């Protein structure tokens, strides 16, 4: 696992975007797994900037981690009134780059038979040849996507109830400004499973800010546990990169080691 620590959010975002851009350049038909939340917004902004300078997304496919159950994209509504992750992706990335709409996938929160839809989603990922690079954030309760504490570390795409902390966090970050009452927020989501995420060939996890410091330390350096589903990063068999800003890294014990490895890799061009 490579842990890269950058000075601030902007540098963390640039670093993550450069990792993604390198893959898009070397494999123009790559499959990206994408994430929502406030953390990756800067990375998407940077990718949009790179696109304006020529980065070509026309051959790539994307699969998003998750979507709230019971809501779907509604382009007739203003952005701040549409809390679907499909809308988030449209506004924060897709509409600003040359990706083909049919190549983008976000679980359908309005699916009539959600469990069947989850199986279909898994099948589409397989048909695409699997995920080359999965971008990930981390929830305040340590979750990946919407794999709440207690989720099996080999779980697949499924419907998952949201826990109280996630509802509180996401209410504060996104729903409050839309004037939605907390009790009206979706309480379930469709989420890729931890097992699904672990099959990605390269996992790239991002975190920034002091409020993520404790949970990042528990996920990276604490015990592997389904209570902090992001700790499954310790099990990831492929390439694994964690990009943090200084504040999110502030409670890690092995910082000097991570910096040493980064310096060595730079020196030996690994």
Residues that bind ligand GLP (CB under 6 A): 35-39, 65-66, 137-139, 145-146, 166, 170, 173
Which is nearer to ligand GLP, 66 or 82 (by Cβ)? 66
Least spacing, CB of residue 149 vs ligand GLP, in Å: 13
| Phi-psi sector, 222: left (phi>0), alpha (psi -120 to 50), beta | beta
Residue 35 vs 252, nearer CB to ligand GLP: 35
Distance CA 4, CA 60 (A): 26
Among the listed residues 46, 67, 82, 141, the single catalytic one is: 141
- Name the active-site residue from 117, 143, 202, 236: 143
Q: Residues 71, 162, 166, 11: is their CA dihedral positive or negative?
A: negative
Q: Is 51 a catalytic residue?
A: no
d(Cα 231, Cα 263) in Å, to the nearest integer? Answer: 25
Shortest separation between residue 197's beta carbon and ligand GLP, angstroms: 10
> Taking CA 41 as the corner, what is the angle to CA 22 and CA 216, rounded to the nearest 5 degrees?
85
Residue 47, Ramachandran bin (φ over 0: left; ψ between -120 and 50: alpha; else beta): alpha
**Is 66 annotated in the active site?**
yes
Q: Look at the alpha carbons of 95, 182, 43, 19 in this order and tell me if their dihedral is positive or negative.
A: negative
Q: How far is the CB of 39 from ligand GLP (least distance, A)?
A: 3
In terms of CB distance, is 13 or 103 closer to ligand GLP?
13
Least distance to ligand GLP from the beta carbon of 113, Å? 22
Could you say which of 148, 160, 169, 245 is catalytic? Answer: 148
Confirm whether 262 is a catalytic residue: no
DSSP-derived pairing of the beta strands 104-105 and 188-191: unpaired
Give 3 or 138: the residue with its C-beta nearer to ligand GLP.
138
Helix (H) or strand (E) holding 15: helix 9-26
Neighbours of 74 (CB within 10 A): 12
Least distance (Å) between residue 174 CB and ligand GLP: 8
Nearer to ligand GLP among residue 38 and residue 250 (C-beta) = 38
Active site residue 148: yes
Catalytic residue positions, numbered: 66, 141, 143, 148
């Amino acid at each position: 696992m490579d842990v890269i620590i950058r000075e601030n959010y902007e540098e963390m975002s640039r670093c993550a975007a450069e990792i993604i851009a390198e893959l898009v350049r070397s494999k123009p038909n790559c499959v990206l797994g994408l994430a929502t939340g406030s953390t990756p917004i800067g990375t998407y902004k940077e990718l949009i900037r790179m696109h304006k300078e020529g980065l070509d997304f026309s051959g790539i496919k994307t699969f998003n981690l998750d979507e709230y159950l019971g809501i779907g994209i509604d382009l007739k509504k203003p952005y701040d009134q549409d809390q679907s992750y499909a809308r988030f992706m449209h506004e924060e990335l897709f509409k600003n780059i040359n990706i083909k709409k049919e190549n983008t996938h976000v679980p359908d929160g309005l699916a009539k038979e959600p469990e069947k839809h989850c199986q279909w989603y898994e099948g589409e990922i397989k048909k695409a040849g699997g995920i080359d690079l999965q971008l990930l954030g981390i929830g305040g309760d340590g979750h990946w996507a919407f794999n709440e504490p207690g989720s099996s570390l080999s779980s697949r795409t499924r419907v998952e109830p949201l826990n109280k902390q996630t509802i509180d966090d996401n209410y504060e970050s996104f729903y409050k400004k839309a004037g939605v009452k907390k009790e009206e927020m979706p309480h379930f989501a469709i989420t890729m499973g931890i097992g699904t995420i672990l099959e990605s060939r390269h996992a790239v996890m991002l975190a920034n800010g002091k409020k993520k410091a404790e949970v990042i330390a528990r996920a990276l350096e604490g015990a592997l546990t389904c209570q902090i589903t992001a700790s499954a990063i310790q099990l990831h068999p492929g390439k694994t990169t964690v990009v943090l800003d200084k504040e999110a890294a502030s409670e890690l014990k092995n910082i000097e080691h991570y910096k040493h490895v980064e310096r060595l890799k730079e020196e030996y061009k690994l």
